[in-house]
Amino acid sequence: MIALVRMRLAGFVRTGRAIAPMIAGLVVLGVLHGGGQAQAGEAYGVSAVVLFPVLAWQTKLLLDVEPDVARRLALVAVGSRSRELAAGLVAATVAGLGTVLIALVLPWALGAITGPEKPEHLPLAQGITLGVWAHLLVLPAAVALGALASRAATDSPRYGVLVLVGGAVGAIVFGLRDSVLPWVAPPMMATARAITSGPSGLRVVELTGHALLWSAAALALYAWLRRNRA
């Protein structure tokens, strides 16, 4: 399976498909952080939100590199449908971690992070820790959404675009509501709002559980769609 992960990552890079989401991520993060300084929690919270659709798009592009015939040959080579599916998700996660690392470092290169200036501001170390947590929370949800939008799970590129755009918009729209509706989308907006003022331990557990459960449900749907399209 490791060889299959490496092959998919290599194909993603060598075909040039890694360039577009990388540039898009740098542009949106550059615009976000280039406007002035902000507290670490606030800067990283918004960064995680804007990075969500970029990571999902990156995942879709990576999973779409491999033609359907090659994917079936890979299934024969590894001898297990679950291992073949997992190889794609692992490759997307590794690529996503690279993008997340850039998102965490770029604000410092642009001088966009400042220390606490008021008593209500979070300590710098706490803001950074929460920022890392927010980005790691975004990653599995973005990989799950990108997988659902991939060619292997949808019948046409049009449906894939609809899933990608609909999921990204839904994460923002439903994240703005304080009701049961947010559970139909990953808690990107809720996380960004929470780390601005510092969430309680219970709130961290709640948001983490929400994000992981949503990701697990989306990945289960992805696996089901893959089986029915095979």
pLDDT digits (tens, 9 = 90+) for 160-170: 899 999 988 88
Largest CA distance in the chain: 60
Residue 198 clears pLDDT 70, i.e. is over it? yes
Between 76 and 49, the more confident residue is 49
Between 78 and 51, the more confident residue is 51
pLDDT of residue 72: 61
CA distance 1 to 82: 10
User: Which residue range is the domain that position 67 belongs to?
Assistant: 2-229
DSSP codes, 150-199: STTTSSSHHHHHHHHHHHHHHHHHGGG--SSGGGGS--HHHHHHHHHH--
Number of C-beta neighbours around residue 94 at 10 A? 15
What mean pLDDT is predicted for residues 45-62?
Answer: 94
**Could you tell me the pTM of the whole model?**
0.91
Residue 73: CB partners within 8 Å, gap ≥ 6? Answer: none
Residue 75 clears pLDDT 90, i.e. is over it? no
pLDDT of residue 93: 96
Residue 27: CB partners within 8 Å, gap ≥ 6? Answer: none
- Out of 110-119, 126-135, 196-205, which region has the weakest mean confidence (pLDDT)? 110-119
pLDDT of residue 50: 92
What mean pLDDT is predicted for residues 68-96?
Answer: 74
Question: What are the φ and ψ backbone dihedral angles of 38, each rounded to 5 degrees?
Answer: -150, 165
Question: What are the φ and ψ backbone dihedral angles of 113, each rounded to 5 degrees?
Answer: -105, 135
Residue 74 clears pLDDT 60, i.e. is over it? no
Contact between 160 and 222 under an 8 Å Cβ cutoff? The reply is: no
Between 148 and 75, the more confident residue is 148
Read off the pLDDT band of 132 (50, 70, 90).
Answer: very high
Structural domains counted in the chain: 1
What mean pLDDT is predicted for residues 17-36?
Answer: 89
Contact between 71 and 7 under an 8 Å Cβ cutoff? The reply is: no
Residue 70 clears pLDDT 70, i.e. is over it? no
- Out of 51-55, 122-126, 169-173, 204-208, which region has the weakest mean confidence (pLDDT)? 169-173
- Out of 76-85, 95-104, 158-167, 220-229, which region has the weakest mean confidence (pLDDT)? 76-85
CA distance 156 to 161: 9
